[in-house]
């Protein structure tokens, strides 16, 4: 039995190819537009990659702002441009350190700082001593005020969800939910 003429593949004509290329370009353009353009790294990833190691940051004589974050955290992603702006504005005066809660390497820090929500910010004076903590997203204005206070050695601004830290000499062992458990 001979194949029917309708079942053989036919090649695309020049006009059809041009239409397909046009559609592909439109889809690529829409994808770039939806993702915010061509960015080699998003602010969150860029800050995390250039962060100092936490022990080095706490020992270098500059105050430190530590953020526990996750790539999937919308509040962390929304706060990232303001964190990047703070880091650029205070470069050489303030350490900005980011630790991803999904990286098992940071599990000891997650436990040590009792991270149970993100973003969680930890603040350290220039001598490396903890001076405060904030849980939840911060506005650019709040981040600038925190950075200014840390650099000047002044008390942290009074903000909702932020407070002083106190040293606990010995704490009973406690079971805590993982930062990503939401439970």
Chain segment 116-169, per-residue pLDDT in tens: 999 999 999 999 999 999 999 999 999 999 999 999 999 999 877 665 554 444
For residue 3, pLDDT beyond 70: no
DSSP secondary structure letter of residue 104? G
Q: Measured on CA atoms in the order 99, 100, 102, 104, is the torsion positive or negative?
A: negative
Tokens of 33: 């537009």
Query: What are the catalytic residues?
Result: 73, 76
Q: Does domain 43-163 have CATH number 3.40.30.10?
A: yes
* Total-model pTM: 0.67
Q: For residues 182 and 57, give the distance between their C-alpha atoms in angstroms, rounded to a whole number.
A: 30
Q: Can you read off the two tokens belonging to residue 113?
A: 């700082």
Q: How confident is the model at residue 48 (pLDDT cuts 50, 70, 90)?
A: confident
User: Is residue 122 within 8 Å of residue 113, measured between CB atoms?
Assistant: yes
What percent of the chain lies above the pLDDT cut of 70?
Answer: 77
User: Helix (H, G, I), strand (E, B), or coil: what is residue 62?
Assistant: coil
Q: How far apart are CA 4 and CA 68, in angstroms?
A: 65
The closest alpha carbon to 132, from 154, 99, 163, belongs to: 163
Delimit the domains of the chain by residue range: 43-163
Average pLDDT, the chain: 83
């Amino acid at each position: 039995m001979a194949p029917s003429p309708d079942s053989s593949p036919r090649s695309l004509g020049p006009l059809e190819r041009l239409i397909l290329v046009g559609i592909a370009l439109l889809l690529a353009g829409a994808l770039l537009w939806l993702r915010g353009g061509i960015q080699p790294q998003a602010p969150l990833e860029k800050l995390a990659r250039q962060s100092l190691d936490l022990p080095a940051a706490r020992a270098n004589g500059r105050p430190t702002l530590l953020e526990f974050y996750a790539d999937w955290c919308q509040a962390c992603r929304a706060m990232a441009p303001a964190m990047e702006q703070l880091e650029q504005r205070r470069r050489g005066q303030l350490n900005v350190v980011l630790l991803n809660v999904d990286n098992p390497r940071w599990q000891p820090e997650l436990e040590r700082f009792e991270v149970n929500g993100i973003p969680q910010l930890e603040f350290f004076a220039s001598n490396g001593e903890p001076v405060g903590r904030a849980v939840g997203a911060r506005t650019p204005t709040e981040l600038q005020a925190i950075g200014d206070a840390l650099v000047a050695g002044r008390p942290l601004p009074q903000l909702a969800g932020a407070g002083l830290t106190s040293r606990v000499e010995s704490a009973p062992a406690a079971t805590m939910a993982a930062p990503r458990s939401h439970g």
